[in-house]
A and B are shown apart, each in its own frame.
Chain A
Amino acid sequence: MILSVLSSLALVSGLMVVRAKNPVHSVLFPIPVFRNISGLLLLLGLDFFAMIFPVVHIGAIAVSFLFVVMMFHIQIAEIHEEVLRYLPVSGIIGLIFWWEMFFILDNESIPLLPTQRNTTSLRYMVYARKVRSWTNLETLGNLLYTYYSVRFLVPSLILLVAMIGAIVLTMHRTTKVKRHDVFGRNAIDSRRTIMRGVTDLLKESSLILMS
């Protein structure tokens, strides 16, 4: 029951991403999608991914999309609702999509229609899990850093490229920040600066008096 609630809410939210009139709403609707998918992952027993999903997908991806939409100067213009004009091509593409979905859907483990559950499918029990069950984090960490370490280091390079690319693309020369020259700061003799202020004042006042 929870599965059907979560998945139907995810589907409705996904549909509203496409159908929302306001583009900001259209970017905010993936948030219920991600939350519901996180709930589905919890039902599958993947608790780590269920917790990381909102952090990564909502906190990073949806926020990025939101910034992109904010940067375009979009007013809520009137939308020419001409569905019928695009119906032939979009109908064909939609039919292709559904046809491909049927390759996945209609087999024994994912029944399409609610049939009777046949009792011949075996359910096996993993007894090792009952002795000492490994958490999701533990199984992931056991393999990711040792056996798949190359695949683990490749995302670091991608993230490095992304970081440098973002800074190169968005920083212009005009962002001039006042910086401290550290070595010069340490080399200043304080007596000279204090006395220099006083002597400058004396010099100026003497110049004014003499002229």
Chain B
Amino acid sequence: MSEFAPTCIYLVISPLVTLIPHSVPFPFASNSLTYPEKLSSYECGFDPFGDARRRFDIRFYLVSILFIIPDPEVTFSFPWAVPLNKIDPFGSWSTMAFLLILTIGSLYEWKRGASDRE
């Protein structure tokens, strides 16, 4: 467990690196000049007609799913790569079967054009 000491140092320093530049402007910013009406959106003086949001395109969700599916593929490849002398070729071939099944899915995604941009 002592090999995680650099990780703990990293976990302390990296939030400091982000939080210190983030919080330095706050004592110097003047908050008295902003009020809620100033911060709201401007629509030529009219009251807001509606929400400013558009309908969410579901292709963004497909992008995230198409990352999530090969993510366990890589995760399962990590413990395979270490004990390769102990698992006989049976272990390698079972991993190849696993990768082949997921390759079929990847092939379907390719031919269907799910990850093409328009």
Q: A residues touching B (Cβ–Cβ < 8 Å)?
A: 42, 45, 47-48, 52, 55-56, 59-60, 63-64, 67, 70-71, 73, 75, 135, 137-138, 140-142, 144-146, 149, 152-153, 155-157, 159-160, 162-164, 166-167, 170-171, 175, 177, 179
The 4 closest A-B pairs by CB, nearest first: A141-B79, A145-B91, A163-B105, A149-B94
- Cα of A144 to Cα of B51 in the assembled complex, Å: 51
User: Of residues 73 to 93 in B, which have CB atoms within 8 Å of A's CB atoms?
Assistant: 73, 75-76, 78-83, 86-88, 90-92
User: In the bound complex, what is the Cα–Cα distance between A159 and B80 (angstroms)?
Assistant: 18
Please give me the residue from chain B that is nearest to A60 by CB atom. B68
Check B33 for interface membership: any CB of A closer than 8 A.
no
Which range holds the interface residue count of chain B?
A: 35 or more
Chain B interfacial positions (CB closer than 8 Å to A) = 1, 4, 51, 53, 56, 58-62, 64-69, 71-73, 75-76, 78-83, 86-88, 90-92, 94-95, 97-98, 101-102, 104-106, 108-109, 112-114, 116, 118
Consensus secondary structure, chain A interface: helix
Task: Please report the C-alpha to C-alpha distance between residue A48 and residue B4 in the assembled complex, in whole angstroms.
Answer: 12
Decide: A164 near B105, CB < 8 A? Known: A59-B71, A142-B83.
Answer: yes
Q: A142-B86, A153-B98 are in contact. Are A48 and B62 (CB under 8 A)?
A: no
Q: Are A163 and B71 in contact (CB under 8 A)?
A: no
* Residues A175 and B113 in contact, CB atoms below 8 Å apart: yes
Q: How far is the CA of A164 from the CA of B87 in the complex (A)?
A: 31
Instruction: Looking at the assembled complex, report how far the CB atom of B78 sits from the nearest CB atom of chain A, in whole angstroms.
Output: 6
- Besides A138-B82, A155-B72, 10 new A-B residue pairs in contact (Cβ under 8 A), listed by A number: A42-B1, A48-B79, A71-B61, A144-B76, A144-B79, A145-B80, A156-B98, A157-B101, A163-B66, A170-B58
